[in-house]
A and B are shown apart, each in its own frame.
Chain A
Amino acid sequence: MSEPKRIHPIGMLLSIFKIIKQTALSYLPLLIIAISSKQWMYILIGAIAILVFLLVYTFLSWWRYTYLLEEDQIRIEQGIIVRKKRTISKHRIQSIDLSQNLIHRIFGLTKVQIETAGSDHNIDASLHAVTMEEGRYVHDQLKYNKQMKEQLSDEAEGHNLEMKEQPAHPFKKVTPRALIIAGSTSGSFGIILGLFAIGFSELETFIPDHFYNQATAWVMAQALQVLIALAIVVFIFIWALGIVTTLIQYWDFTVTRYEKELYITRGLIEKKQSTIPLKRIQAIGMKESILRQPLGYASLYVEIASGEISQNGETTTLLFPLMKKAKVKDFLQEVLPEYDYTIDQPTSLPKRSLPYYLIRSILFPLLATIILAFTLLEWVYIPIIATILAAVFGYWQYKTVKFQLEKDYLFVQSRLLSRDTVIVKHSRIQSMQKKQHFLHRKQQLASINIAILNKFVGRHITIREMELDEAYQIADWYSYQKK
């Protein structure tokens, strides 16, 4: 069809950044030894040698990395000494995503990520910098059949990711207001707080002693009110930071429904794009954290089958950052009508299962209380408070569990801390278990465990201590063997 192509030269710049980022830490010991030895001459030579090596290496790997689009496949050749040739057939490609970070955006480039169904994501290919035009071309070439291709090439005149949003396809966009609420109620708030604490304790070592002492003395000399005010300022600052990171990450979060896939774009600085083929969706869930539940907000996610785990280790994929819970149904009807559900009469747990929830919840804090009561009596109030909190949570968990069986899906609501609602289709359940121990048997209770596939090892949806009879009903519903 055509000549093998190389990626954009700016790609070299990106690889250099990437290598430096990955190896920066490993230079540190060398650097410390070098500086402490004060052999400036050798340090200079060493640094230049490393730099030259890096430049030559990056140039060569860029030179040797070529790709070639063919009728129904893409060929990629790479490797400086060991040549690797990879051919990916069009039919095996699950999704092709274009994403842009800051450097990409400056130069009008994009990264093309080609994902196959394999569990090893090294098998997947990526062209880490091509022009936007080329990226779109590769995307359309590999993705669509002829007629759709023509249609799309008419549409995709511009150089923007947003070009794909055609009014013909239903789409939903997050509002800045919802994002601000999402940011201010996000759990990352706590994480940032933690990072701050760590960062500060690390920073301590860099601040000269006398300065540090002076500062501490000054802080100590201030009145309590000032300290409290200071704490509040820091708190607000961290909170604002949480909001800003959420805004940057999920800015313009748009989910568009195409015939066979969902297409998500998001990000303020880094434009990210991802595709979720509908047939890989295993279940859909709604999460309401403790802060969001009283406000009536929920975030939506999907469980998809894929070998790749996202960088932040999350096994679920965000479908929408935040929306009013009351609007979820409308959202699904429009974007994902396959999962349109009606929950009118969810079943709760029987009263006799409450003790199990309470005991499971308070067991460890109670043990801690007992141990502390014998050893450090004056601190015993801490585990006592923990026990009471645990009991409240146990009761709450018990109260939250609800489920409903419909013709082709099962609805399960449960709570660890956040309220988590899952809708899973009959055809997506991998296996089902019913568990009972002797007390359960006596009380006609049973726990069920439903396994579905997700990005990692699979997810187990459990309902603990439900009526035995209802467990049987779910089992009958699930059973493929019609007796």
Chain B
Amino acid sequence: MREQPTERIAKDAIKAWQITAHLTAIIFLIVSIAAFVAAYFFDFISYWIGIIAISITIVEWIITCFIVPKLRWRRWRYQIYDQEIYIQHGIIVVTRTVVPMIRVQHVDTEQGPILKKYGLATLQISTAATKHEIPALLEEEAADLRDQISALARVEQDDV
């Protein structure tokens, strides 16, 4: 755990995260617009609510779209050993996780519409007590890792 893991996730992850950020921002934007509309029709609602909402939206948009994805991508690393999986993530709080292969209960890959557009997939690793994720790996890579981990995890387990 002294050294950080070596493998990075796919670079397109940044684009995928940016799209997600755009979508959230659009929802925020709709709410802000609704606040303005409401202020126009009802006297008791101040325009200030709309102004505050729109400024929050803009700040949120800038942060989640232009700052966070890059930092996140830069931090995200993983490494698959024969005996364990090693993951690092987190922008402010950096978390390094060790999951031993013999504790892995099952491995899944998951792909939403945004990830699919970039040919990416998320790898989910579950133990009996915890769940871990490696987001945005290339599709083939994720599938390979899934098979590799499930093969490695197929070690005789003592109870749970």
Interface residues, chain A, CB within 8 Å of chain B? 279-280, 305, 427, 429-438, 441, 451-454, 457-459, 471-472, 475-476, 478-482
How many A-B pairs have beta carbons closer than 8 Å: the answer is 81
Contacts A427-B158, A476-B1, A480-B83 given: A433-B101 contact, CB under 8 Å?
Answer: no
B83 touches A481 (CB 8 A): yes
Q: Do A453 and B100 touch (CB < 8 A)?
A: no
**Does the CB pair B1–A475 fall under 8 Å?**
yes
CB neighbours (8 Å) of B92 from chain A are 437-438
Q: Can you name 24 A-B pairs with beta carbons within 8 Å? A: A279-B159, A280-B159, A305-B159, A427-B158, A430-B127, A430-B128, A431-B99, A431-B103, A431-B132, A433-B95, A433-B98, A434-B95, A434-B96, A441-B94, A451-B129, A451-B130, A452-B129, A457-B129, A475-B2, A478-B98, A479-B84, A479-B98, A481-B83, A482-B83
What chain B residues lie within 8 Å of A429 (beta carbons)?
Answer: 103
Residue of A nearest to B99 (CB): A431
Nearest B residue to A482 via CB reads B83
Most chain B beta-carbon contacts within 10 A, residue among A433, A459, A476 = A433
Contact A432 B97 (CB under 8 A): yes
Interface SS of A by simple majority:
mixed
> In the complex where A280-B160, A438-B92, A480-B84 touch, is A431 in contact with B97 (Cβ < 8 A)?
yes
Is B40 engaged at the interface, CB distance under 8 Å to the other chain?
no
In the complex, A433 Cα to B127 Cα: how many Å?
14
> Given known contacts A427-B158, A471-B1, A475-B98, what 17 new A-B pairs fall within 8 Å (CB)?
A279-B158, A280-B159, A280-B160, A429-B103, A430-B103, A430-B128, A430-B129, A431-B97, A431-B100, A434-B1, A435-B95, A458-B129, A459-B129, A472-B2, A479-B84, A480-B101, A480-B102
Judged by a CB distance under 8 angstroms, whether B66 is at the interface is no
Q: How far is the CB of B107 from chain A (nearest CB, A)?
A: 14
Interface code B118-129, partner A: CB below 8 Å = 1, 0 otherwise? Answer: 000000000111
List, in ascending order, chain A residues with CB within 8 A of B160's CB. Answer: 280, 305, 453
- Shortest beta-carbon distance from B91 to chain A in Å: 9
Judged by a CB distance under 8 angstroms, whether B81 is at the interface is: yes
The smallest C-beta distance from B119 to any residue of chain A, in angstroms, reads 29
Distance (Å) between the CB of B154 and the closest chain A CB? 15
Residues of A within 8 A of B100 (CB): 431, 480
Of all chain A residues, which has the CB nearest B81? A481
CB-nearest residue of chain A to B79 = A481
Nearest-neighbour CB distance to chain A for B89, whole angstroms, equals: 10
Contact B130 A458 (CB under 8 A): yes
Give bound CA distance, A436 to B75, whole Å: 13
The answer to whether A433 and B97 touch (CB under 8 A), given A453-B129, A480-B83, is yes
Within 8 A of A (CB), among B59-117: 81-84, 90, 92-103
Contact A437/B93 with A453-B128, A479-B1, A479-B84 known, Cβ cut-off 8 Å = yes
